[in-house]
Amino acid sequence: MYAGLAYDLIYNSLTPAERKTIEDGAFKPEVDFVTKDLKTWFDLIHNHGVWACAGVGIVGIATGNKDYVDMALYGTEKNGRSGFIAQLNGLFSPDGYYTEGPYYVRYAILPYYIFAGALNNARPELKIFQQRNSILKKALEAALQQTNIDGAFLPVNDAIKEKDFTSNEIVTAINIAWNVYGKDTGLLAVAAKQGTVLLNRGGASIAAELAMARTGSKYYPYKTVEYVDGANGDEGGISFLRVGKGEDLTSLTFKYASHGLSHGHYDRLGMFLFDKGNEVFQDYGSVRFVGVEQKYGGRYLPENKLYAAQTIAHSTIVADEKSHFDGKEDAAEKFHGEKFFSSASNPAVQVVSAKEKNAYADIDLHRTLYLLQLPRGKRLVVDLFHVISPNQHQYDLPFQYNGQIINTSFKYKAATTSQTTLGKKNGYQFLWKEAEAELKDTLAQFTFLNGKTYYTLSSLIDGDAQLFFTRSGANDPNFNLRREPSYIIRKNGKSQTFANVIEIHGKFDPVREFSSNAYPTVKNIRLIYNDEKYTVAEVQLGRDTLTIAQSNNESGTNVKHAVTVAGKTYQWSGPFTVLLNNKVLK
């Protein structure tokens, strides 16, 4: 691709003989190699295929070779089943979500935009930038919405956490998009952080805007967004619930999408949480050191598939110590999660509910996440996770927390002299057991410090449960894994409900040496009603009572519901209601 761009720049300065030497001696063998010897790879709907199509197409435009351009656009057979147009249609959902995740849309967006820019000049009749209702514009906006406030791409599927929107791929896309789609204050905020532009019309215009701008937004305009997955938008999706602005942004990610091709992870109904720019409950990302030759040449390390992609490395249910779909990509690619309902119209109550019925043969998963903004600035995540099965199973629900443990409400046995692994396979073999506890019919709480904020996970222990504090790094003699902690709730039985509350609270000031609101306000969690039709959860917050009532099998927005508990009737319309002291939370 880059060679084709360079050739185009010097084309007019070359003699016909020099052009023939380059085109026949350099470009033709390369194009023949990727379109004939590597035909299957070239026609693959994948980020590698995007680069291949862009390279052949740009060489075709630079050399005036229509055959090359047509193969790039429509595949080696020129039937439209592969090629650049098929890549646009196949890898993005209708609203711009890239099925492999934001890290890889960053990688693929550069050839998408560069080749589209070349086509816009050479074949304007294609109107390539308007293809699929301006899918490239939607893709760039979706990529930026899937970043943290520091610009780092959110770790969905395989992802290098250090990669952010200052990368040259996003610089290129923004500069071209600015010229094609028009000025955008959100893009300008990103460009200001990038601190560099291309020497093209878009880049020059951005530089002029930045030079004249006296004030502007410090952050990209993040908002709550939900994306569907799949070319037709019918393969589940992913939700990003957000509350707050700027440095005070809280962002909750809930994934119920398709697998994500070869870079996908086995993490149906997984979640992670960012707050104030920090990863609070995290996703591992990928096991790879890009640009570090000593680490397998910078390629993906074996532990990427053996640990990072496995279900136990995420924050979602693991049954019988087996990953979703038994860790098999071909099986995972056949299915996707389904959104049950969602609502973000009330900024105080944002919710997403999704189901997964295929991760295990005889188990249905149903998770509902509520991001709540309570009076006086308090924020909570309420997590109701139903596991439905007619058979006996062991269920593990890990929370990949990031921070220093401050306090627990329960006694545990710490492994201070020797440690054993949590299991023998499916990622469990990489986890050291640092501590464990056995609890029954109680409220389990543990508080940790991340940055200067306290976070408490409060968990309803209904019946018997085991708790584990673990850390990655076991069976890792080459030190390929980061040493990161997790907190795992284990239950045994048939159908189970995991009810958890994440509370964001307090402040730690290391300079002035004091803490404020360092203790959680959650005093109790109860499931006052819970069956296949309805769940009513009650959370005691100091003197306040938070009540969540939801339908588990009817998502219609106009359907009326009523549940009577101990003589008190809860009535609501739509799939859920959230009450604070018996009044609808607004």
Whole-number Cα distances in Å, 527 to 213, 393, 459, 462, 547: 54, 21, 12, 9, 10
Active site residue 104: yes
Q: What is the DSSP code (8-state) at residue 154?
A: P
Catalytic-labelled residue, pool 74, 104, 107, 227: 104
Active site residue 360: no
Single-letter residue type at 273: L
| Tokens representing residue 45 in the block | 């709907």
Q: How far apart are CA 475 and CA 481, in angstroms?
A: 10
- Cβ-contact 356, 256 below 8 angstroms: yes
> Between vectors from CA 440 to CA 435 and to CA 445, what angle results, nearest 5°?
55
Q: How many CB atoms lie within 10 A of CB 88?
A: 20
Catalytic-labelled residue, pool 46, 259, 263, 505: 263
Q: How far apart are CA 81 and CA 90, in angstroms?
A: 10
Helix (H, G, I), strand (E, B) or coil at 350: strand
- What does the radius of gyration of the chain's CA atoms come to, in whole angstroms? 26
Residue found under tokens 């959104």 = 339
- Cβ-contact 207, 175 below 8 angstroms: no
Question: What are phi and psi for residue 500, nearest 5 degrees?
Answer: -135, 150
Q: How far apart are CA 76 and CA 41, in angstroms?
A: 11
Q: How far apart are CA 327 and CA 304, in angstroms?
A: 12
Whole-number Cα distances in Å, 220 to 126, 182, 207, 436: 31, 17, 17, 42
- Cβ-contact 81, 53 below 8 angstroms: no
> What does the longest C-alpha to C-alpha distance in the chain come to?
93
Single-letter residue type at 464: D
Instruction: Please name every residue paired with 271 in a beta bridge, in sequence order, or none if there are none.
Output: 254
SS3 annotation, 502-529: EEEECEEECCCCEEECCCCCEEEEEEEE
Helix (H, G, I), strand (E, B) or coil at 310: coil
Q: Kindly report the length of the chain.
A: 586
Question: What are phi and psi for residue 308, nearest 5 degrees?
Answer: -60, -35
Q: Which residues are known to be catalytic?
A: 104, 263
